[in-house]
């Protein structure tokens, strides 16, 4: 399985996703601040992977601390939590993971544990978060596989694969699950302007797994759908509001509208850690605005003239009425999402679809 992120000795090691597919290079982070920087600069990206990175970053931050006692440690730890929280505001898995780490930290401090013991608990919790994410992806992949017919031609946007998670992937987890059930699947990967996660990362990991992959520019999806060359769409999510509105990579909304116009199913695959019941609907989801240079430049060379204003929202929100189903590790949620998402988060069993 792809090594997205792992804790090796005294470093958090990540494959540098900015360099793929040209070079498979690994970045080693030895402090919490280095991990936060890796998240901001997209060495590691994808909502679940960001959550895992934050957890490991907090744990390594505490492991490296020279604090004399837990009062000093607490000051450092909460400061690092704030640094992590500022890295990628749309990905709710980030806040979910930070909250989990805070709960472990607070329980240990309340129990009077020593600094080294707190560090050990946080490291353990970070590994649990990592391993649970792989399990969730595998489970949601198996649930979603039932929605994929044999010989399906599947469109996906951005990279919601092994690279965006601790392993296996969400949208690509559904594709992998279908293939593991013996189905033939051909994938169309939107290139995903401006950061090209589809062309670079989705295509890289699918080709590596021997999965039939065709890269298209984002603007090719419409005519392919019109010409009957796509059977369904599956994407990941950065945050799903309580009513089922879905924030995902910029361009997803357009794909969802196109899918509905062509009467194609539009599925969202995400672990329950991506569901944010505290956010009532998509209008309340913070959308990260990234550096203009990602739009004006391609591979270091300038495309747009100096002086032009630039917008670079990294995500958009797809209203729930365009979403055919949300596939989680606890089963497939359908409208009305207010109820089905709440049930999934609270662990009530859902339709399995397989
Ligand atoms: O900006 P990115 O590359 O972090 O955006 C990633 C996405 O939009 C993914 O589709 C989403 O995080 C789901 S990943 C399983």
Q: Is 51 in the pocket of ligand 1 (CB under 6 A)?
A: no
Atom of ligand 1 nearest to the CA of 235: 10
Q: What would the two tokens of residue 303 be?
A: 């495309």
Q: What is the rounded CA–CA span in Å between residue 219 and residue 251?
A: 10
Atom of ligand 1 nearest to the CA of 165: 15
Q: Which of the four pLDDT bands, split at 50, 70 and 90, describes residue 350?
A: low
* pLDDT per residue as tens digits for the range 192-202: 999 999 999 99
Q: What would the two tokens of residue 98 be?
A: 């930070």
Return the CATH number at 33: 1.20.120.420
Identify the pLDDT of residue 354.
Answer: 40
Last-in-domain residue among 138, 159, 180:
138
Which of 236, 255, 315 is the pocket-test mutation for ligand 1 (most atoms within 8 Å of CB)? Answer: 236
CA-nearest of 147, 254, 234 to 188 is 234
Catalytic pick among 238, 245, 276, 316: 238
Cis status, amide bond into 194, omega within 30 of 0: yes
120 and 186 fall within a common domain: no
Q: Known catalytic residue: 238?
A: yes
56 and 165 fall within a common domain: no
37 and 85 fall within a common domain: yes
Range of the domain at 70: 5-138
For residue 276, give every residue at least 6 positions away whose Cβ sits within 8 Å of its Cβ, in sequence order, or none.
Answer: 92, 239, 240, 241, 242, 285
- Confidence check: pLDDT of 230 > 90: yes
Q: Is 200 in the pocket of ligand 1 (CB under 6 A)?
A: no
* pLDDT per residue as tens digits for the range 165-214: 999 999 999 999 999 999 999 999 999 999 999 999 999 999 999 999 99
CA distances for 60 relative to 7, 22, 130, angstroms:
9, 30, 14
Domain count, the chain: 2
Q: What would the two tokens of residue 292 be?
A: 């203009």
Higher pLDDT, 348 or 179: 179
Last-in-domain residue among 81, 108, 138:
138
What percent of the chain is modeled with pLDDT above 70? Answer: 98
Identify the pLDDT of residue 351.
Answer: 54
User: What is the model's pTM?
Assistant: 0.96
17 and 110 fall within a common domain: yes
User: 């950065």: which residue's tokens?
Assistant: 238
Last-in-domain residue among 70, 105, 138:
138
Atom of ligand 1 nearest to the CA of 47: 12
**What is the layout of strands, in order, in the sheet containing 11-15?**
5-8, 11-15, 26-29
* pLDDT per residue as tens digits for the range 101-148: 999 999 999 999 999 999 999 999 999 999 999 999 999 999 999 999
Q: Is 249 in the pocket of ligand 1 (CB under 6 A)?
A: yes
Q: How many CA atoms lie within 13 A of 177 on its CB side?
A: 30
Return the CATH number at 287: 3.40.50.10470
Q: Is 147 in the pocket of ligand 1 (CB under 6 A)?
A: no
CA distances for 111 relative to 2, 106, 108, 117, 122, angstroms:
38, 9, 5, 11, 14
């Amino acid at each position: 399985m792809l090594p997205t992120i792992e804790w090796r000795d005294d470093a958090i090691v990540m494959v540098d996703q900015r360099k793929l597919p040209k070079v498979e290079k690994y970045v080693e982070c030895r402090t919490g601040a280095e991990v936060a920087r890796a998240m901001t600069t997209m060495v590691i990206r994808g909502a679940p992977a960001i959550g895992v990175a934050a957890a490991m970053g907090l744990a390594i931050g505490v492991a490296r601390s020279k604090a004399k006692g837990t009062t000093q440690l607490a000051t450092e730890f909460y400061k690092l939590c704030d640094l992590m929280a500022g890295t990628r505001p749309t990905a709710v898995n980030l806040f979910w993971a930070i909250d989990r780490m805070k709960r472990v930290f607070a329980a240990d401090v309340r129990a009077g544990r020593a600094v080294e013991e707190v560090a050990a608990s946080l490291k353990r919790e970070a590994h649990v978060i990592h391993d649970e994410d792989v399990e969730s992806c595998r489970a949601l992949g198996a649930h979603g596989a039932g929605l994929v017919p044999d010989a399906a031609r599947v469109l996906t946007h951005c990279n919601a694969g092994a690279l965006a998670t601790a392993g296996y992937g969400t949208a690509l987890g559904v594709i992998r699950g279908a293939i593991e059930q013996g189905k033939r699947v051909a994938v169309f990967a939107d290139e995903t302007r401006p950061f090209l996660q589809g062309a670079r990362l989705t295509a890289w990991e699918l080709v590596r797994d021997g999965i039939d992959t065709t890269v298209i520019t984002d603007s090719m999806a419409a005519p392919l759908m019109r010409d009957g060359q796509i059977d369904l769409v599956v994407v990941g999510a950065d945050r799903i509001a309580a009513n089922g509105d879905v924030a995902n990579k910029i361009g997803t909304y357009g794909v969802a509208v196109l899918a509905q116009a062509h009467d194609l199913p539009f599925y969202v695959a995400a672990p329950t850690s991506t569901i944010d019941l505290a956010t009532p609907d998509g209008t309340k989801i913070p959308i990260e605005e990234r550096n203009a240079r990602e739009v004006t430049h391609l591979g270091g060379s300038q495309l747009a003239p100096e002086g032009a204003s630039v917008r670079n929202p990294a995500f958009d929100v797809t209203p729930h009425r365009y979403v055919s189903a949300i596939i989680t590790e606890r089963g497939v949620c359908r409208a009305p999402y207010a109820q089905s998402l709440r049930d999934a988060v609270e662990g009530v069993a859902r339709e399995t679809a397989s």
